[in-house]
Structure 1
Amino acid sequence: MTTLAEKFQRDIKVVLWLSAGIFFSLALFSFNPEDPSLNSASGVVREVHNFCGIIGSFLADFLYQSFGLSAWCFVALFLRAAYVSLLGIELEFKKAQVVWAILFIVCVSSLSSLYITEKALFNDSVYVGGLLGHGISILLSDYLNKIGVGVMLWTLTLISFILYTEKPIEYFFRGPRAVLKALYEKVHDRYLEWQESRQGPEISTKESNFWRNLARKMNPKSLLGTKASEDDEEYEYEEEEEEYEEEYEEDYEDEAEEDGDTLELAEEDEEDADADPQLKIEIGETSARFQMKPQEAKASKRKKRIKVKQKRRVANWEMPQVNHLEDPPLSAVKLDPKELKRKTELLEDKLSQFNVKGKVTAVKPGPAVTMFEYKPNSDVKISKITELADDLSLALSSESVRIIAPIPGRDVVGIETSNSVRETVYLKEVIAESNFFSDDFTLPLALGKEASGHSKVVDLRKMPHLMVAGTTGSGKSVFVVGALTGLLFKHSPETLKLILVDPKQVDLVAFHKVPHLIMPPIREVKKAVSALKWAIKEMDKRYRSMSRFGARNLEEFNEKIKDFTKEQLDEHAEVNEELLRANKRSETYHYTKLPYIVIVVEEFGDLMAVDKSNVEASVVRLAQMARACGIHLVLAMQSPRKDVVTGLIKTNIPGRISFKVASKMDSRIILDESGAERLLARGDMLYLAPGVPKPMRHHGPWVSEDEISSVMNFWAEQCEPEFDDEAMKMLDGSGGGYGDDAGGDNELSPDADDRYDEILSFVSTQKSVSASYIQRKFRIGYPRAARLIEIFENEGVVGPANGSKPREVLIGGIGETTL
């Protein structure tokens, strides 16, 4: 019976709430003042007319006498609860919400009695606002006049309604706006059809402007005088799109004029189009002339608008709610106290057989393991206990036993044994039970539950980088996906950007549509190097920006520039444009609010296998310097080998998580100690926090594909990803050889190489030179040396290629004086 009740829990709630609403509505609808009630004489036997019997008559009389017509608000509350339960949203009965609901009903009753004071219902037996509303309105009228009481009651009504529903006022205008939007679109389409069907200039200007003005007036935003919502309104965006189209056409015309081309287009105004029904285009010397009817010209213009349409920008993002995640089952796994006591006795007996005396002082059951705190006698060597892990596992019939000798800061030894029945930890309960949304956590990662069963959240911002290791089936990928999903509950694309590297093309595929992406998820291992190099360039640019505005970290920078006026922003934009025109891209800087950037790399070992030198150099530089400017790394790998987790990487990434690994050596590499090889599969982990000597055991949260899809679709419906132009250029140029120039600038410019002057000085002293000679002399990659040769050829330093022979040097030594 319990299993069935849990299975159909949502349906049962819907039926109960709906039944309560129907019962109340029938009782109120069939109310008769002649029915038995608290107001009627008890000794008189009366016939019951109420549809719900004697209970319904008493209930309806109480509600009507107390609240008047506002009694129907209770029916609305029940029906709303049924609807919310039907959507699968968990109802949380907060005390404050109940208070606001009652206050709202009382205010509505008082307003009703304020404007209709006499008994006007049911043969003048019930006040319109009930006795409660009637009494409050009379009481307030003694101190305020009718207008003052009305203002106060309307204010309280709106405030209580907003606090009860926890929705902004704008939310309730969405329905009317949708209706007006449909009407507006019909009028607008009618205007376009009429405009296309008219022939010749004989139509008067007054008639021409009629439909245009009507469509403008029917715009829902202008009618309601409210700002378009971020999730379902696009009027503001459409206006911005039209402005962009005008700018696009102006830029296009400017470019055509600069190239010596002429472009003659009909104006947007339809009167001009009528005056010249044929469009003539002349481009340069080749006169391409063709004729279009006005209808065809209009259709062509529409196609052009669709072509240049920009991705939607949302001013105010709507954040996802935790109801996108699944609720944990009601029947949590509970360990039998008798079983725990039996294991305690077995543990003490087994240790005593090996001359280890002591006693268990505490037992802390968790979702996957139970920790026994064992206090040995003073004459017992700790190392003797650590050697008995396998013997204790056999005695307790446990899948694995891990010994923490001793627990840091305590005089006890921790002995962790696996539970016979494991409890699944859900992402929703970790987020809900912890202070996940607190301001104390900037980039919160839902770590899961501790061995004691308490939810744990850590801040990636304070970490500031993280390495995750685990074999197949250990739960590593689920944890990474869950951590990313959790971040999307806290941050919009304005405050967080993501770079995802997924060589397996499986784990992070669900994130390819979220608007937080800087670039598409990277699936080719070689392109990941370009992404890391772009991150280094962005880091350098951020530090230039912070230095320019006197900020020590990203938070200070955003605080300093948040109040910039339009004039200041235009001034900084002009400075950056001048730097770009002067070919000084390396001196440009940011002057708008910057988001945090989280770089997630799945299968980091694959990157190191393909291009170890470039990957290691990029990761080390980011790990060393990127914290202050808001760039953070999350590196995940299956096998933390020594050639993957090098000394430099390990030194600069203090935050580490290890799921079950294959060997003690892997555990020592990732955690600096063994133990991870004894972990359980499916979410069992050890977390080593920065500055903490010993790793702590946790159980990672489970997140299903349906939950991930729900959150990703929520974000994708608001906006498509807008990729960074510079990042995309670097990705597009990442093909070919991967030497020191991987992902660098493809332009043959001296600024593209920081050793240009040094190598040029050397080349000028030679009679001939080749790329391989420069490569050996300066110990650089061959692609870089070949590119320098091309630069020298373009500048006239060396001659053209002559087969396999070295190139002739055409200049003398730099610094020589010719008389």
Structure 2
Amino acid sequence: MAKAKKRKKSKKKNKNEELQMRLFSMLVLFLDIVACLRLGTVGRFIDGVVIYLLGNFAGLFYGILVLLSGYVLFSAKLPQLGGPKQVGCYLLVAALMILASAPADHRIVGMDVLTLYQMQAEAGHAGLVGAMVYSVLSTLFAYMGSMIAAVFIGIAGVGLILGKTYFEWMQRRVKAGTASLKEKAQEVKPLAIFEKKKPLFFPDRSFDDPHPEPEEPEPMPEIILGKKESIKLEPEPTQERPETTQVKDTEPALIREPVPDKESTPYRLPSLSLLDRPSGPTQSKKEVQQFALNNAKRLTTVLHEFGVSASVSEIYIGPSITKYELKLETGTRVNKISSLQDDIKMALAAKDIRIEAPIPGKAAVGVEIPNLEATTVHFIDVLKDIPENKKDSPLLVPLGKDVTGLSVFAELDKMPHLLIAGATGSGKSVCVNSIICSLLMRTTPDQVKLMLVDPKKVELSNYNGIPHLLAPVITDPKKAAKALRVVVEEMDRRYELFAASNARNISGYNTKVHQYNQDHQDDPHEVLPFIVVILDEVADLMMVASKDVEDCIMRISQMARAAGIHLIVATQRPSTDVITGVVKANIPSRIAFAVSSSIDSRTILDASGAEKLLGKGDMLFSPMGASAPVRVQGTFVSDDEVARIVDAVSSQKKVEYEQKFVDLNTGQSSSTYEEEDEEYEKCRDFVITSQKASASLLQRQFRIGYNKAARIIDQLEANGVIGPQIGSKPREVYIRKYEEE
């Protein structure tokens, strides 16, 4: 009786458990359907939690729940979840989640993956679970190691799913295949084609064996790379080569054979060891990346607060700024972000920001935010980044690095002239120094000649004595105007040479000269070098002789490109009276440093943006033909580096000035003035007689133009006839009439 009662109780208990399991499975199935179809608040909440945890694997999770709940509902028992095949399924799903959780930027590893997932819900396609698993693996094994681990986990899962029988079947197939190959190999008889037999016909004659026995190969001669001395060419008896031509093999490709009349010592380019090596950054790469990620999160938060739907698609960390590319949703106006510039600056506590809306060539808006600490771009780093196809370009000068960290270069022969403008202390002089040092480091005095004009007398004076100069550094504005006229005369002379030799430009002319010099070594012709004219402060020149300087700049910039003459104009006063319309129209390539207002920026670039720059080398570079300026952090050249480069260049070759560029004072004697201006003596007698001197007085008395009257007044002052202008007082006349008599 007792046993029967126990059996009844156990059966009743089993039925209750089965009923509970069926009810629970029905509840799970109901919630699964509600969540999958997002029915009501409960369905949306459950679906949101599942998607947050599993991402795109939520559908797989719903399907597995349907199968499990259906199995429990009909069988009233739990399925086996710990078998080998089930574990294989778990491993296969885990491998797929790891592969799906890897971000597009492979440099993001560790905790940055979770940070990125919190910032962007679509950062990982396997939800929070996948992001956590990938975060752990990437911390331990980096990106590539995580991918390899995911592949091995997937292979292990497939092996557990297929089971032992599959591998045994594969092993039997492989063994059977190898056995059949062995049997076929044994059936094949060896061919006796390599046996040496006597020929059937003409047995006494010897024939070459068509299949001779392999002989030991002769040892190959050792190839020594990088030693030019291993190859010696005997000189032809009809032509005698100078001894210096043997050094050409070890010199850079830019160094040409010297003219026999000049010094026979070859010129060697300065070594990179003269430049300072960069020191390590004070901030770690991880700190910089974390700061950029935090700023991206705050940027998207600010935009969402003001009703702008945008997400950060790319982040570029540059030397001084970080550029965030924003991808806008359809229907969002671009100028809406531009109007929020001050709000973004306040939210990010940034010194200044610049918005590029839109980025040329991209469907995105760029927001440039300063870094916590700017990184110095060293001169040696940019010189090492010169591409191979540009190393033979003599007028290639480095400017700095852009937002993405790539080096930016400018070719003066293609620009063909350059305008540099910016406020005091913005980095203009350092940019000019880097251009000059680049020319000294990469070219010889026979290739490039320089004419430097420095009215401030302190910026370029340390370059005196280098062999690249056409004349000493010009510091007098009056001499500078005359030197520009001499440059125009040199340009006209070169065009006459081009016309006589039927050449279109300096490259074609020099090619013909090289061919002529090879055929006529006794009477070589001169190879024309490039001439780079650098005006460090054109505002002072405009104050003294604006008309002459502007006319010379116009003629040089319009015609001198084919003649190999290139102009670099720099100023720290970017106003319309200095950078006139004529100057802007003829100098298409421009560099703008930090300025005080958007008006100055428009004067330089015809667009605003330079007023948002940070200074200390931060520039906007607009080359000829570019649709929009490029932001560049300029390279830094210290005074010690400049001194070492100048010493290295000056010690190799003595400077040889061009006489026509040196004799600029010949036009300041009274006799030459008398030849130039026929009215000079009449004006001089009138000034001495009337004891008055002014340009307006000479205009009225002799009916001449203002420019000529002002030039005569300057001549009278230079010859000691009248005194200087002191405020509004009239000029003093030093010579009396009775003294003349």
- When normalised by structure 1's length, the TM-score is 0.52
How far, CA to CA, are the matches of 1:339 and 1:787 in structure 2? Answer: 62
SS in 2 for 1:497: strand
1:534 is aligned to 486
1:322 is aligned to 272
How far, CA to CA, are the matches of 2:244 and 2:660 in structure 1? Answer: 37
How far, CA to CA, are the matches of 1:476 and 1:775 in structure 2? Answer: 46
2:396 is aligned to 444
2:451 is aligned to 499
Partner letter of residue 653 of structure 1?
I
2:662 is aligned to 728
Cα deviation for residue 567 of structure 1 reads: 9.4
Q: What pairs up with 1:636-651 in 2 under 5 angstroms? A: 636-651=570-585
Q: Matched residues, percent identical?
A: 35
Cα deviation for residue 462 of structure 1 reads: 0.4
1:162 is aligned to 227
Alpha carbons 1:467, 1:656 under 8 Å: kept? yes
Given candidates 380, 390, 400, the residue that maps to 1:428 is: 380
Given candidates 767, 777, 781, the residue that maps to 2:708 is: 781
Cα deviation for residue 381 of structure 1 reads: 2.2
Alpha carbons 1:562, 1:592 under 8 Å: kept? no
Cα deviation for residue 141 of structure 1 reads: 12
Moved more, 506-515 or 486-495: 506-515
Partner letter of residue 357 of structure 1?
S
SS in 2 for 1:415: strand
1:21 is aligned to none
Given candidates 591, 596, 613, the residue that maps to 1:657 is: 591
How far, CA to CA, are the matches of 1:772 and 1:543 in structure 2? Answer: 38
Q: What pairs up with 1:16-165 in 2 under 5 angstroms? A: 160=225, 162=227
Partner letter of residue 272 of structure 2?
V
Cα deviation for residue 470 of structure 1 reads: 1.6
1:458 aligns with 2:391: no
1:622 aligns with 2:622: no
- Deviations, residues 646-674 of structure 1 (Å, cap 9, x unaligned): 00100110111111111111111001111
Given candidates 470, 474, 481, the residue that maps to 2:422 is: 470
1:377 aligns with 2:329: yes
Alpha carbons 1:513, 1:721 under 8 Å: kept? yes
1:363 is aligned to 315
Cα deviation for residue 331 of structure 1 reads: 4.1
Alpha carbons 1:605, 1:637 under 8 Å: kept? yes
Q: What pairs up with 1:258-273 in 2 under 5 angstroms? A: none
SS in 2 for 1:492: coil
Closer/same/farther in 2, CA of residues 339 and 160 from structure 1, 3 Å limit: closer
Alpha carbons 2:323, 2:366 under 8 Å: kept? yes
How far, CA to CA, are the matches of 2:630 and 2:413 in structure 1? Answer: 20
Q: What pairs up with 1:162-241 in 2 under 5 angstroms? A: 162=227
1:607 is aligned to 541
Alpha carbons 1:370, 1:416 under 8 Å: kept? yes
SS in 2 for 1:313: coil
Alpha carbons 1:561, 1:592 under 8 Å: kept? yes
- Deviations, residues 111-144 of structure 1 (Å, cap 9, x unaligned): xxxxxxxxxxxxxxxxxxxxxxxxxxxxx99969
Closer/same/farther in 2, CA of residues 412 and 479 from structure 1, 3 Å limit: same
- Deviations, residues 461-502 of structure 1 (Å, cap 9, x unaligned): 100111111222211111110111011122100000000011
1:579 is aligned to none
Alpha carbons 2:394, 2:443 under 8 Å: kept? no
How far, CA to CA, are the matches of 1:410 and 1:388 in structure 2? Answer: 21
Partner letter of residue 405 of structure 1?
A
Runs of 4+ with >6 A deviation: 166-169, 224-230, 566-572, 770-775, 783-788
1:679 aligns with 2:631: no
Structure 2 unaligned runs (5+)?
A: 1-214, 233-241, 249-257, 679-696, 716-735
1:718 aligns with 2:670: no
Cα deviation for residue 429 of structure 1 reads: 0.3
Closer/same/farther in 2, CA of residues 718 and 343 from structure 1, 3 Å limit: same
Cα deviation for residue 787 of structure 1 reads: 13
SS in 1 for 2:601: helix
Closer/same/farther in 2, CA of residues 548 and 510 from structure 1, 3 Å limit: same
How far, CA to CA, are the matches of 1:487 and 1:610 in structure 2? Answer: 30
Closer/same/farther in 2, CA of residues 412 and 168 from structure 1, 3 Å limit: farther
Alpha carbons 1:437, 1:490 under 8 Å: kept? no
SS in 2 for 1:698: strand
Closer/same/farther in 2, CA of residues 395 and 531 from structure 1, 3 Å limit: same
How far, CA to CA, are the matches of 2:373 and 2:488 in structure 1? Answer: 47
SS in 1 for 2:346: helix
Cα deviation for residue 160 of structure 1 reads: 4.9
Partner letter of residue 536 of structure 2?
E
Cα deviation for residue 336 of structure 1 reads: 3.1
Closer/same/farther in 2, CA of residues 653 and 736 from structure 1, 3 Å limit: farther
Q: What pairs up with 1:480-629 in 2 under 5 angstroms? A: 480-565=432-517, 591-629=525-563
Cα deviation for residue 523 of structure 1 reads: 1.1
How far, CA to CA, are the matches of 1:562 and 1:702 in structure 2? Answer: 38
SS in 2 for 1:563: helix
Cα deviation for residue 747 of structure 1 reads: 8.8
- When normalised by structure 2's length, the TM-score is 0.58
SS in 2 for 1:564: helix
1:337 is aligned to 289
- Deviations, residues 379-419 of structure 1 (Å, cap 9, x unaligned): 22222221222221111121110011111121111100000
Partner letter of residue 322 of structure 1?
L
Alpha carbons 2:394, 2:439 under 8 Å: kept? no
- Deviations, residues 410-449 of structure 1 (Å, cap 9, x unaligned): 1111100000011110010001023278256341111100
Closer/same/farther in 2, CA of residues 570 and 608 from structure 1, 3 Å limit: farther
Partner letter of residue 401 of structure 1?
I
Partner letter of residue 561 of structure 2?
R
How far, CA to CA, are the matches of 2:276 and 2:380 in structure 1? Answer: 7
Partner letter of residue 326 of structure 1?
D
How far, CA to CA, are the matches of 1:566 and 1:787 in structure 2? Answer: 52
The structure with the larger Rg is 2
Cα deviation for residue 314 of structure 1 reads: 4.9
How far, CA to CA, are the matches of 1:563 and 1:453 in structure 2? Answer: 43
SS in 1 for 2:516: coil
Cα deviation for residue 353 of structure 1 reads: 2.2
How far, CA to CA, are the matches of 1:161 and 1:693 in structure 2? Answer: 44
Given candidates 625, 631, 642, the residue that maps to 1:708 is: 642
1:666 is aligned to 600
**Cα RMSD for the two superposed structures:** 4.1
- Deviations, residues 723-752 of structure 1 (Å, cap 9, x unaligned): 1011112x2235489xxxxxxx94977xx7
SS in 1 for 2:344: helix
How far, CA to CA, are the matches of 2:388 and 2:630 in structure 1? Answer: 20
Closer/same/farther in 2, CA of residues 655 and 226 from structure 1, 3 Å limit: closer
SS in 2 for 1:618: helix
Q: How many residues align?
A: 472
Cα deviation for residue 355 of structure 1 reads: 2.1
How far, CA to CA, are the matches of 1:504 and 1:663 in structure 2? Answer: 24
Cα deviation for residue 777 of structure 1 reads: 5.6
